[in-house]
Structure 1
């Protein structure tokens, strides 16, 4: 990999890791569902006017929008709003690789190799270890696990869709997710809460929203898609494991979150298990592990 492309891969991982700090800041200003709706709305418009129509059947765009855009991010934002630390969320969310493999076996009839099963077991042990520290707030932890489950399912749907342009696909997924999220926000949070949040928007809220919509979603997926087209998943996928490192480091530096020994140990197991599953893996399986943005 060329030096500038290596720098791009690390930069994208850093962007996606810092994204959890931006989410934490945004949740101080917006209800979770409204924040998610605004994020996808900004990611879709005005980009949708320039990218052209999606290059895959609409049913797959709608499926990923529902599972990834609506379900995954609603659960993630709700979990973080309920008290799940930003840095730890960036780590626990990597358990999506576990559920991706399980769903690939169930729905795609893929047969994981022994090394992948071993990696799965190691990653599960890491998640369970992290869970021991969240015993005082199991609901928040389970919401983020639910987000990882939804992400794994969306990875399988994306695999079936096989979009040739990941950025264009993400723009349309964002567009189709925006409407249901607005409706859910109005029904669950209520018009008065949403309106109050919009009226009270300040610089921090605006910057966090712009970051996750434009930099993390559009710029991040554009850079990642370029790397995948240039080098392939086998070379690029391991860089995704830098995301929890940047996520936990930025949360510690900017939010003052403590990093406990159990977090480090759990992180080593989760990341190590996922990387173990990548060793000499088939391209079809590896491709499911490269969508790591939040």
Structure 2
């Protein structure tokens, strides 16, 4: 299908551009959990989820109209719905709920499993048959995360940890489905169409959940809402899916391994949350497991 936009033509750009765009996307996503942590202190988590999707969806619609993008084919709609349920609704909602119980630094350790979840769903959706070592690293990484949660007092906040695990599963599915769909629909178009498909649901939901007054909302909360709406929901995905198209899903996908490091740094510097040596150690161990699993995924 011929497209009128020149924003996603990887044939005319160097593979290094994919790495650069992918890295920008990862850095943007790294700020999502700290920003969400600030926002849920003053916004209802469900309202935060739907309003950020509504804002990003309106902007995505404007972007698609501006570049006169073709509508997705009928057979692509199911994949777009899966992407929407995973990264537009599922991950933001589950993390917003989880961050009522755990700190962003605690939750970022779970993000170390995101590349593994993406690879696992890629295996399921793509019909690939990974080597046995893939499953070894998968189980080991999962045990490390569970062990960390127990050592930090799982009995004190089981809800937060369970919600984070569900969030990682939802996001991994959305990433894998989006990466698969980007090969035919285009990189940034995937998240834009997923956001647009969500508008009939999130706009009425936003209106229904909107508080009677916003007078008590602080500036940091408004800035956090703006960040998760503009950067986490839209701009980050524009760079991320563009990077996947330009540099290849396998190569650029490895950049997700850096996300926990960026996230922990932001949690420590911006929110002044404590990042223990144990937390860093578990994060590094999980990342090594993810790297090993991805190496043997094919």
TM-score in terms of structure 2 length:
0.80
Counterpart of 1:175 in structure 2 is 196
Counterpart of 1:60 in structure 2 is 79
Counterpart of 1:248 in structure 2 is 264
Match of 1:206 among 206, 222, 237: 222
Matches of 1:28 and 1:48, distance apart in 2:
30
Matches of 2:42 and 2:135, distance apart in 1:
42
Matches of 2:204 and 2:136, distance apart in 1:
42
Match of 1:154 among 160, 169, 174: 174
Matched, 1:71 2:71: no
Matched, 1:260 2:276: yes
2:224 alignment partner, SS class: helix
Counterpart of 1:95 in structure 2 is 113
- The answer to which of 50-59 and 11-20 deviates more is 50-59
Matches of 2:30 and 2:59, distance apart in 1:
25
Counterpart of 2:4 in structure 1 is none
Cα deviation digits, residues 237-272 of structure 1 (max 9, x gap)? 222111110111110111121112331222112111
Aligned length: 276
Distance 1:116 1:251, change over 3 A: same
Cα deviation digits, residues 201-236 of structure 1 (max 9, x gap)? 443232212212222332222222332232222332
Distance 1:3 1:66, change over 3 A: closer
Matched, 1:33 2:54: no
Match of 1:119 among 128, 134, 137: 137
Matches of 1:281 and 1:103, distance apart in 2:
11
Shift of residue 33, structure 1, vs aligned partner: 0.9
Shift of residue 74, structure 1, vs aligned partner: 1.2
Matched, 1:143 2:159: no
Please say if residues 72 and 147 of structure 1, whose CA atoms lie closer than 8 Å, have aligned partners that are also in contact: yes
Please say if residues 18 and 248 of structure 2, whose CA atoms lie closer than 8 Å, have aligned partners that are also in contact: no
1:45 alignment partner, SS class: helix
Please say if residues 15 and 247 of structure 2, whose CA atoms lie closer than 8 Å, have aligned partners that are also in contact: no
Counterpart of 1:237 in structure 2 is 253
2:185 alignment partner, SS class: coil
Distance 1:256 1:35, change over 3 A: same
Q: Over aligned residue pairs, what C-alpha RMSD do you find?
A: 2.8
Match of 2:62 among 29, 49, 67: 49
Shift of residue 10, structure 1, vs aligned partner: 3.8
Task: Identify unmatched segments of 5+ residues in structure 1.
Answer: 283-294
Distance 1:260 1:179, change over 3 A: farther
Counterpart of 1:220 in structure 2 is 236
Matches of 2:134 and 2:212, distance apart in 1:
48
